[in-house]
Structure 1
Amino acid sequence: MHSPTPALLTLEGVHTHIAEYHILQGVDLIVPRGQLAVLLGRNGAGKTTTLRTIMGLWHASGGKIVFDGQAITSKSTPDIAQAGIAYVPESMAIFSDLTVKENLHLAARSGPMDTARLEWIFGFFPALKKFWNYPAGNLSGGQKQMVAIARAIIEPRKLLLVDEPTKGLAPAIIQSLIAAFQELKASNTTILLVEQNFSFVRNLGDTVSVMDDGRIVHAGSMQELAEDEELQQKLLGLSLASHQ
């Protein structure tokens, strides 16, 4: 797939083995700089493995991953994070025993939290300000998701990897996430989003790639997929219209 926007991240023929399982089988993926790229696919297609491989949590057994002009295929997770990539896993991975404030403080690795950026985050997620000194484990699922995303963006990142952020969330919280991701895009943060909520990604996505059995089987513009129900049926076995 060719994009008029230069790529911030590219995967070329990436393979990932986990124990005896060959999960990623030659993944080719382009994430254009400054855009929101969506990765769709059925459960078990390899979407989470793709994010974890980019982040170095699982190492590619073949192929090449290039981020911002540098090969990161064999780099460690801390080095990849230092290069400007943040990861919000589906499990959220927050520290339940620590307060919201302590969770964000730990994520601000370069020094004290920037007050202006913190107020910007509170604008999307006012519940975080309300529960600032509460243990994160006491929050609702939606509030925990807010903490997880806030941790990832408490410092400016070049690339944000987000795994199914709307899973189990109320519509009002999903609207807050939409606003947050739109603002992040406007502030030159590139986003790679794995998601199953099609109306959510339809509103946000610039490009879309569809995975099946550890490979990319389609790549193009989100608008093209959103307007072509026949293509949706072919790739996903459903239509976006039925998920409005």
Structure 2
Amino acid sequence: MPEPARNDAAGMLLTLAGVHTHIGEYHILQGVDLQVPRSGLTVLLGRNGAGKSTTLRTIMGLWHASAGRIVFDGQDITAAETPAISRSGIAFVPEDMGIFSGLTVQENLRLAAIGGAFDEERLEWIFGLFPALKRFWLRPGGTLSGGQKQMVAIARAIIEPRKLLLIDEPTKGLAPAIVDNLAEAFEQLKARDTTILLVEQNFNFVRSLGDHVAVMDDGRMVHSGSMEQLSEDEGLQARLLGLHAGAVH
């Protein structure tokens, strides 16, 4: 890993300062500033194409920043490679979930366990979060429903303790009962001192779950603050998100 770097933002687990990301000829992130406090859930909102997923992938080192700085837990990870970033304590659940269709649920999780061995107590806790995983333990990932695949993806990310989870659009296309299950899982993760950075389009899902919020547009941050403030200010919602009173998104 790169040498330690001072994180001047007190209480921040992750800080992005002036981050630019180019993908080919496209300039996607255009000076992103983002702070993620420790031990809470920060929601990253914005319209499709605003740069939210690119922000997560840049943090994870899947795409490298062309300018700016990313500091995680006191370490400058701007130029670090993805395996080193993962070892530092960050896990990523992509929008497409990224599970291995030909492997069983057990095998998918075993790949993420240190040395391929499970911490049995932690595994039982995960089964408590997602009981379906125990029922489908030996079933290939490709045969699962969308909601079940999402459970596998999140379980794989937390099979080992992580300081930070990056989760991209976890509720997309899921039934309400599965969404409620995910909300409970996130609450339990927060209670275990896991910090979460969540990209999500469903504002009703995150308004009671999130502690902090940042809003992106055209590759830049246009707002940051508490979720409580945004939830209570319909005018701010309309200006930033195009929501109106009584809207369901």
Could you say which TM-score interval applies, normalised by the shorter chain?
Answer: over 0.9
User: Is residue 33 from structure 1 mapped to residue 9 from structure 2 by the alignment?
Assistant: no
State the alpha-carbon separation in 2 of the partners of residues 211 and 109 from structure 1. 35
Work out the number of aligned pairs and report it: 241
Instruction: Map residues 1-244 of structure 1 onto 2, 5 A cutoff.
Output: 6-239=11-244, 241-243=246-248
1:198·1:240 contact (CA, 8 Å) conserved in 2?
Answer: no
Relative to structure 1, the CA distance from residue 240 to residue 129 in structure 2 (aligned partners, 3 Å threshold; closer, same or farther) is farther
Unaligned runs of 5+ in 1: none
Identity %: 72
Unaligned runs of 5+ in 2: 1-8
Relative to structure 1, the CA distance from residue 5 to residue 129 in structure 2 (aligned partners, 3 Å threshold; closer, same or farther) is farther
Deviation of 1:109 after TM superposition, in Å, equals: 2.6
State the alpha-carbon separation in 2 of the partners of residues 183 and 110 from structure 1. 26
Relative to structure 1, the CA distance from residue 5 to residue 122 in structure 2 (aligned partners, 3 Å threshold; closer, same or farther) is farther
Deviation of 1:243 after TM superposition, in Å, equals: 1.8
Q: What RMSD over aligned residues (CA atoms) do the two structures have, in Å?
A: 1.2
Taking structure 1 as the reference length, the TM-score comes to 0.97
Taking structure 2 as the reference length, the TM-score comes to 0.95
Deviation of 1:111 after TM superposition, in Å, equals: 4.4
Deviation of 1:239 after TM superposition, in Å, equals: 3.5
1:226·1:240 contact (CA, 8 Å) conserved in 2?
Answer: no
Deviations 1:43-77 (A, max 9, x none): 00000000000000000000000000110000000
Deviation of 1:240 after TM superposition, in Å, equals: 7.0
Q: Counterpart of 1:181 in 2: which secondary structure?
A: helix
1:232·1:240 contact (CA, 8 Å) conserved in 2?
Answer: no
Paired amino acid for 2:68:
G
Deviation of 1:241 after TM superposition, in Å, equals: 3.9
Deviation of 1:13 after TM superposition, in Å, equals: 0.3
